[in-house]
Amino acid sequence: MAFNSILIVGGGSAGWMAAATLIKKFPNKKITLVESADVPKIGVGESTLAFIRDWTAYLGIDDKDFIKHTNGTYKLSIKFTDFYDKDYGGFHYPFGNPSEIDDINYNDWQLKKIYYPETHSSDFAENFWPTMALVNENKLSTNEDGSFDDFRFDYDTAFHFDSLLFGKYLKDHYCIPRGVNHIVGTVNETPTNENGIDKIVLEDGTELQADLYVDCTGFESLLLGKALEEPFVSYRDILPNNKAWAVQVPYTDKEKELEVYTNCTALTNGWVWNIPLWSRIGTGYVYSDEFISDEEALQEFKDHLNSDKMTVHNPNRVTDELNFRHINFRTGIHKRIWVKNVLAIGLAAAFIEPLESNGLLSVHEFLLEFCRHVDRPVINQFDRDVYNARIRRFYQNFADFVALHYALSIRTDSNYWIKNRERVYDPDIGNSYSGFNDLYVKKTDTLRHFGKAGIVCIANGMNYNIYTEVDIVKDELGRQVNQRDFCERFLYNRHNKMNQWKTAAKSQLSAYDWLNQNIYNSKDTNTND
């Protein structure tokens, strides 16, 4: 297969990310995007992971310009509130590199947990990540003076932004100026031949042909799923959530509520995301209809929005003016996402669920991986097979990573939590995709991995300690040191380091002030723009 023309079917974030990536990779090829004006747009606040930095760097996108056009903010971590137990509080999975001192490692914090069992799991990230000092103070810093060790602002941060504005930004400021052809039209027919898709026929009779078709049609998966009938592998056996309520709410106190992290709060029958954008908060409730009805879920969500679980408690936050939108989704991945002359991207290819901000992760990672496989003048079936295998392994491992947040919970306040933690995660039985052991021990052997840091943050946050009294005896023999004495040295060193970070953080601008001064130059009243 050789291709000189590419047709992207579907717009939105996935479609325009595909167009931007492919016009960057293939500046001399004919690239066209066709999208319908009739497709409903959700427009939720989008939360990303720091891995998006690889993609923005590849495209050469400027942070400040991109953020200003997308109502965006910066993100330093993800907070998980009450996932371990009801009313337990939260812990963080921060971005960036952990700080190392001498030969101290993660196990040494678990040693502290053994000797001081009252230590809250949130203490783990605070001991190792300098960014947690900024998170706790709700501050931003470019770290030009090195106060926060190896924290790299332009690499160890992610973004919150409006997904609709994001797609529009890529269209108007990147794709169209570089030559992407934009067509507005509704797909009516997708006839096939032995090579895959033969052509796209629009409702007005227009016929479009290309060498490569990129399916960005969302859950409909018009090309890969419907036309080519590629089987879909469901993840619902380990990830049962399939619905969400979403809404945009105004700020009550912008300086407090514009947080530098995504807050995920576990409720009785699911969990709520909270994504602070510049002018408003995007929030939503993710749940499974196996355990609660849509109406009950909406009421539980509204009760949460008016509760003291919000950063600023406002019993009048829910009003008749708020537009609650209902979303249905499926979890899983097509058996192959590159089949013949069709490549599926975004929801058309796969989806897990919103936890761990993975919505756009698959988009930019699938696209970058595709770019790694198409440098030869002719693409063979072997190239497709390798690509599909690597993508499948990456996504299966990520599904396990997300499932870990439920599997380690000890909540007993509903069947939702009880049944989720009792699900079997065993690859030999066939209802897990790589297994917890593969997730924890072999995670580095994947396409794109979170390293041990991500896994250990979640495990320690859920009070799953891999270091035990048995290991203390073993390490005392190996290190030739009394482990309690070693623990005290750890506490002394970390205490001093954490104090340095805290002092540095207090002198930084709040997230609101930093964004206002460096990007928005707004004169708002600290509530709504």
Q: What is the pLDDT of residues 108-123, one digit of tens each?
A: 788 888 889 899 999 9
Q: Does residue 316 fall inside a structural domain? A: no
Q: Name the H helices within 277-373.
A: 294-305, 361-372
Residues 121 and 171 in one domain: no
| 17/29 Cα distance (integer angstroms) | 17
| 529/522 Cα distance (integer angstroms) | 8
66-105 in b/e form (b: 16+ CB < 10 A) is bbbbbbbbbbbbbbbbbbbbbebebbbbbbbbbbeeeebb
Question: Cβ neighbours of residue 401 under 8 Å, at least 6 residues apart?
Answer: 356, 439, 450, 454, 455, 458
Give residue 390's domain range: 5-73+160-234+331-396
Please identify, among 396, 415, 439, the residue that sits at the C-terminal boundary of a domain: 396
What band does 526 get if pLDDT is binned at 50, 70 and 90? low
Q: What is the DSSP letter of 8?
A: E
What is the pLDDT at residue 5?
97
pLDDT tens for 200-245 read 999 999 999 999 999 999 999 999 999 999 999 999 988 999 999 9
Q: Any bridge partners for residue 187, and if so which?
A: 202
Residues 341 and 490 in one domain: no
Q: Which residue has the higher pLDDT, 98 or 19?
A: 19
Q: Is the pLDDT reported for residue 447 higher than 70?
A: no
What is the pLDDT at residue 4?
93
What is the pLDDT at residue 438?
45
CA 92 → CA 95, 445, 457, distances in Å?
9, 24, 7
Instruction: Give the E-state strand segments of 198-324 in sequence order.
Output: 200-202, 207-208, 212-215, 232-234, 243-249, 261-267, 270-276, 281-287
| 497/235 Cα distance (integer angstroms) | 42
Residues 151 and 184 in one domain: no
DSSP string, 49-67: -TTHHHHHHHHT--HHHHH
Q: Is the pLDDT reported for residue 525 higher than 60?
A: no
Residues 9 and 143 in one domain: no
pLDDT tens for 392-428 read 988 888 888 898 899 899 999 999 999 998 887 665 5
Of the listed ranges 5-14, 136-145, 420-429, the one predicted with least confidence: 420-429
| 404/418 Cα distance (integer angstroms) | 14
What band does 46 get if pLDDT is binned at 50, 70 and 90? confident
What is the pLDDT at residue 357?
86
Q: Any bridge partners for residue 284, and if so which?
A: 246, 273
Q: Does residue 81 fall inside a structural domain? A: no
Of the listed ranges 150-159, 258-267, 288-297, 455-464, the one predicted with least confidence: 455-464
Residues 136 and 169 in one domain: no
Residues 136 and 26 in one domain: no
| 124/122 Cα distance (integer angstroms) | 5
Q: Two tokens at 8?
A: 């992207």
Residues 222 and 340 in one domain: yes
Q: Which residue has the higher pLDDT, 435 or 86?
A: 86
pLDDT tens for 455-502 read 788 888 999 877 777 777 777 776 667 778 878 888 888 899 999 999
Q: Is the pLDDT reported for residue 433 higher than 70?
A: no
Residues 64 and 105 in one domain: no
- Indicate the average pLDDT of the chain: 89
Q: Percent of the chain, pLDDT > 90?
A: 72
What is the pTM (predicted TM-score) of this model? 0.92
Tokens 């895959």 correspond to 196
Q: Does residue 243 fall inside a structural domain? A: no
Task: Name the CA dihedral angle for 506, 511, 513, 514, rounded to a multiple of 10 degrees.
Answer: 90
pLDDT tens for 49-89 read 999 999 999 999 999 999 999 999 999 999 999 999 999 99
Residues 388 and 510 in one domain: no
**Overall domain count for the chain:** 2
Please identify, among 396, 415, 431, the residue that sits at the C-terminal boundary of a domain: 396
| 361/164 Cα distance (integer angstroms) | 17
| 207/102 Cα distance (integer angstroms) | 65
Q: Where in the sequence numbering do the catalytic residues fall?
A: 75
CA 304 → CA 165, 258, 374, 425, distances in Å?
28, 18, 48, 31
Q: Does residue 490 fall inside a structural domain? A: yes
Q: How far apart are the first and last CA of the chain?
A: 51
Tokens 């089949």 correspond to 339
What is the pLDDT at residue 86?
96
Residue 207: give its domain's CATH number.
Answer: 3.50.50.60
Q: Does residue 241 fall inside a structural domain? A: no
Q: Two tokens at 217?
A: 């049609």
Please identify, among 375, 396, 417, the residue that sits at the C-terminal boundary of a domain: 396
Residues 343 and 491 in one domain: no
Residues 105 and 60 in one domain: no
Q: Does residue 299 fall inside a structural domain? A: no
Q: Does residue 278 fall inside a structural domain? A: no
Q: Which residue has the higher pLDDT, 488 or 151?
A: 151
| 131/446 Cα distance (integer angstroms) | 26
Residues 218 and 174 in one domain: yes
Q: Does residue 440 fall inside a structural domain? A: no
| 309/265 Cα distance (integer angstroms) | 8
Q: What's the residue count for the chain?
A: 529
What is the pLDDT at residue 524?
65
